[in-house]
Amino acid sequence: MKNSIWMLGACGMGVGPLAIYLKESGNEVYGWDDSTGSPMENHLANADIPLLKDPWAAGRKPNLIGRSSAVKPGHAALALAEKNQTRVLRRGELLAESVADKKFVAVCGSHGKTTTCGLIISALATVGIDFGYVLGGLFRDPNFAPAHASQKSPWVVAEVDESDGTISHFSPDITVAVNLDWDHPDYYKDEAALEGVFRALFERTTTAVVIPTNNERLERLTRGLKARVIRVGQTGDFTAQLIGANSSQSRLLLGGEFKTAEVSVPVTGAFNRANASMALAVTHLITGAMVSEPLTRWRGIRRRQDILFEREDLLVLADYAHHPTEIAALLKWIKETHEGQLIVIFQPHRHTRTRQYASEFRQALHIADAAFVLPVYSAGEVAMEGGRSDAVVAGSALRLIEDRAELSKIISPLTQGKKTVVAFVGAGDIEHDAENYALILRREGLPVMTLDFGEAIAGKLSANAVIRASEPLDRRTTLGVGGVARWYAEPATVNDIIVLLQAAGELGLPYFVIGRGSNLLVLDEGYDGLIIHLNAEYWGEVKNLGDGRLQMGAGARLKEICGIAARDGLTGFEFLEGIPGTMGGSLRMNAGAMGSWIFDRVESIDWLTPRGIHRSANRNCFDAMYRDCPQLHGAVILSAVLKSTGKESLEKIRQTMDEMSQKRRSSQPRDPSAGCVFKNPDENHAGRLIESAGLKGTHIGAAEVSNIHGNFIINKGDATAKDVLALMKQVRAKVQHEKHQLLQPEIIVLGKEWKDLL
């Protein structure tokens, strides 16, 4: 029996792939996450998994809840589940139930399991067999989904997590143990308890337990098993000996139970070679075969040795490593494969782990020529004595950096005149620091050696398409503030859009579709990605299909749609008059005015997914909410069919439009603005709260709270995004202090999340 499942924490790397697997298995799946903006969102969109705060309110009734262990008891989402008496399972428990009737390959270990799981998936895909999988991360190849459910094969490959104890729910056919180090003191009372759950997993394994050679702990824990123990390494049952290597690949001589052969694998460093060897051994166990180039599908895992910036004398990379052993292995690999000095910025993950491993972190970081330590990423833990970052730097040359905004100023002087690798290391939110530093380097105008977006699309766009670099965005928004976009495109055909989306995906370049730029704040530093604008010339056509139905392109302006509907005597579109937007943007934001919403009129929508797949769906497939439509996150809307409410004379329709226009003019400012800044709280109005707090007319620089409508921030001439943000913070703080309401932004901030700005 298939389920209706609500996945909590769906934008995370554990729950998101499982959600996709469950969807492909035939379940109805939707997700939720407090923190959006993750790259996982695009994959959820490609799988038609919407993000819903409350699926019961959307008219659905999930009979199962899957949650990340990061979603703690007492959370509002779990309170909803309890209220509706819905069964709740942790991610690992739900995965275990989902693969209970499969031939399951479990990848486990303290570190390296996501990479090893990805290598197994890539090796099996290279052989060409059908199988299912659930990765705990994202492949660098955007066309390689993080999960897949096979309708034919019984085999499923997935990593299992020991951190929350859910590892005890699995009974695999094959278990791959990459390594085992003492970790997770927040869950396990001692090292013996951790070893016990691994021993129990090995005992429940039915066919084979695969381990690396010369691992004393794993050798001890696999003694006396009923399942066969298979050792992989330079010696053992499956052997892989290094013949030669360069900066991008290794040449291995396979032997033992492998058919003797020389193969090239696109990995370097002893740690990655060991993981690749285990992946090849598992592939041989499942298929009995090996191809001459066994990992041609492998392009790596995101946040594992990601190169963010590269020029002749400087390399910036980021890695997820967060255990002393894997940090030491990573830094040793960098030293072995790259010239020059190594500068490391490290963010400890969890106070319990930091307290346990402070001295080991210190020792691992000494491999670097210079190392800096950021405050601990708590992952919801309470700070504790000995568990802060000062315990890591104590008595050493390591330097603690409390203010992360100072990172660039501290690092840059150290790189001058020296060949340098700068490595950002950690499993928390340090990736944002890495991306910001790489962005600063790109903005300095220095030559970048990585593939350029312009090169990736060269010769692939139609003659009428427009592509420009460093496009000013202030003139493309109704608020009139903000910096430049790294790339700007005006596609003229559907194929143009597909080319842009696929190139952006290949290069990891974020993109955003802009209409008239209302409900949007562009920051002063601009947008380090691609802006796609569907202009009216190619995307603004409006057709009368008869029977009260209008088909309109995504670039059609709402005001013009209003006029065409009036001319044809069609009612129900009058409220669109005066909304400064386009059809595409109005659908993404579920635009509304005068008590009506755009989705009240929608019959069907055509769009492209982030991967460039063409989709069409009727109205009942969309969960239109207040200022949002989750199914359209990351989508490029092409067109929509809207249905009128009836017929009326042109004069009568014009009269209604004029009345609405007059009401709008009397209640909303005419100065440049982004529209209503904050969402209306339940049973209240943001504008009313702001006005009653005495904030009308308040200004910072040229940004001002409108005297006409308190929920509008207007640009009096030369406002900056910094002015607007500062004013939003001031308004929010005063309303919270005096009215006990925390206002939430309604407008979108381009390229950032509000939680990081307000």
- What percent of the chain has pLDDT above 90? 41
For domain 537-656, which CATH number applies: 3.30.2320.30, 2.130.10.10, 3.30.465.10, 3.40.50.620?
A: 3.30.465.10
Residue 207 is predicted with a pLDDT of: 95
Residues with Cβ within 8 Å of residue 758, at least 6 apart in sequence: 725, 728, 729, 732, 745
In angstroms, rounded to a whole number, what is the distance separating the alpha carbons of residues 653 and 338? 70
For domain 99-287, which CATH number applies: 3.40.1190.10, 3.30.70.260, 3.20.20.150, 3.30.450.20?
A: 3.40.1190.10
Is 11 a residue of the active site?
no
Instruction: State yes or no: pLDDT of 247 exceeds 70.
Output: no
Kind of pairing between the strands at 341-346 and 420-425: parallel
- What percent of the chain has pLDDT above 70? 98
Which tokens belong to 234? 């330079």
Residue type, 352: T
CATH number of 4-92: 3.40.50.720
In degrees rounded to 5, what are phi and psi of residue 58?
Answer: -85, 5
Angle separating helix axes 324-337 and 351-365, nearest 10 degrees = 30
Confidence of residue 460 (pLDDT cuts 50, 70, 90): very high
Please compute the mean of the pLDDT values over residues 409-431 and round it to a whole number.
88
Taking alpha carbons only, the member of 590, 453, 449, 498 closest to residue 58 is: 590
User: Of the listed 91, 140, 627, 732, which one is catalytic?
Assistant: 627
Residue type, 39: P
Residue 699 is predicted with a pLDDT of: 94
DSSP reduced 3-state for 732: helix
For domain 453-533, which CATH number applies: 3.40.50.150, 3.30.200.20, 3.30.43.10, 3.90.320.10?
A: 3.30.43.10
Instruction: State yes or no: pLDDT of 612 exceeds 70.
Output: yes
Which tokens belong to 3? 């389920």
Which tokens belong to 123? 């090796």
DSSP conformational letter for 405: G
Residue 37 is predicted with a pLDDT of: 63
Kind of pairing between the strands at 703-705 and 712-715: antiparallel
Per-residue CA distances from 496 to 472, 540, 633, 682, 755 (Å)? 22, 16, 20, 42, 34
Is 746 a residue of the active site?
yes
Domain ranges of the chain: 4-92, 99-287, 306-443, 453-533, 537-656, 670-756
Residue 448 is predicted with a pLDDT of: 41
pTM, two decimal places: 0.65
pLDDT per position as a tens digit, 250-278: 888 999 988 888 888 888 777 788 889 99
Residue 309 is predicted with a pLDDT of: 80
Which tokens belong to 521? 């704040």
Kind of pairing between the strands at 511-514 and 527-533: parallel
In angstroms, rounded to a whole number, what is the distance separating the alpha carbons of residues 599 and 419? 56
Residue 1 is predicted with a pLDDT of: 52
Taking alpha carbons only, the member of 262, 267, 252 closest to residue 112 is: 267
Per-residue CA distances from 279 to 155, 270, 293, 642 (Å)? 15, 14, 13, 52
DSSP reduced 3-state for 355: helix
Instruction: State yes or no: pLDDT of 34 exceeds 90.
Output: no
**Which of the given ranges, 439-448, 500-509, 599-608, 690-699, has the highest pLDDT on average?**
690-699
Residue type, 88: V
382 torsion bin: left (phi>0), alpha (psi -120 to 50), beta (else): beta
pLDDT per position as a tens digit, 88-147: 999 999 999 999 999 999 999 887 888 899 999 999 998 888 999 999 888 877 778 899
Length of the chain: 758
In angstroms, rounded to a whole number, what is the distance separating the alpha carbons of residues 492 and 485? 20
Please compute the mean of the pLDDT values over residues 319-336 and round it to a whole number.
86
User: H-helix or E-strand containing 592?
Assistant: strand 592-593
Taking alpha carbons only, the member of 488, 37, 318, 3 closest to residue 16 is: 37
CATH superfamily label, 306-443: Mur ligase, C-terminal domain (3.90.190.20)
Residue 534 is predicted with a pLDDT of: 94
In angstroms, rounded to a whole number, what is the distance separating the alpha carbons of residues 575 and 594? 6
DSSP string, 457-502: HTTTS-TT-EEEEEEE-GGGSSS----EEEEEEE-SSHHHHHHHHH
Angle separating helix axes 324-337 and 270-287, nearest 10 degrees = 110
Residues with Cβ within 8 Å of residue 482, at least 6 apart in sequence: 473, 474, 521, 522, 523, 524, 526, 527, 721, 750
User: H-helix or E-strand containing 661?
Assistant: helix 650-667
Decide if 487 contacts 501 (C-beta within 8 A): no
Confidence of residue 326 (pLDDT cuts 50, 70, 90): confident
Decide if 212 contacts 231 (C-beta within 8 A): yes
DSSP conformational letter for 630: G
Instruction: State yes or no: pLDDT of 599 exceeds 60.
Output: yes
Residue 187 is predicted with a pLDDT of: 73
- 343 versus 755: the higher-pLDDT residue is 343
Residue 450 is predicted with a pLDDT of: 40
DSSP-H helix ranges across 293-406: 324-337, 351-365, 390-393
User: Of the listed 11, 108, 117, 676, which one is catalytic?
Assistant: 676
**Residues 670-756, CATH architecture:** Alpha-Beta Complex (3.90)
DSSP reduced 3-state for 570: strand
Per-residue CA distances from 700 to 462, 523, 687, 724, 738 (Å)? 45, 16, 18, 7, 20
CA angle 412-415-416, nearest 5°? 95
Contacts of 146-151 spanning 24+ positions with Cβ under 8 A: 146/13, 146/16, 146/17, 146/20, 146/40, 146/43, 147/17, 147/18, 147/19, 147/20, 147/21, 147/24, 148/20, 148/21, 148/24, 149/21, 149/22, 149/24, 149/25
Question: For residue 155, what are the β-bridge partners?
Answer: 103
In angstroms, rounded to a whole number, what is the distance separating the alpha carbons of residues 395 and 640? 64
Instruction: State yes or no: pLDDT of 176 exceeds 90.
Output: yes
Confidence of residue 633 (pLDDT cuts 50, 70, 90): confident
Residue 266 is predicted with a pLDDT of: 85
Which tokens belong to 323? 């255990």
Is 676 a residue of the active site?
yes
Residue with the two structure tokens 């002393």: 324
pLDDT per position as a tens digit, 695-722: 999 999 999 999 999 999 999 989 999 9
DSSP reduced 3-state for 189: coil
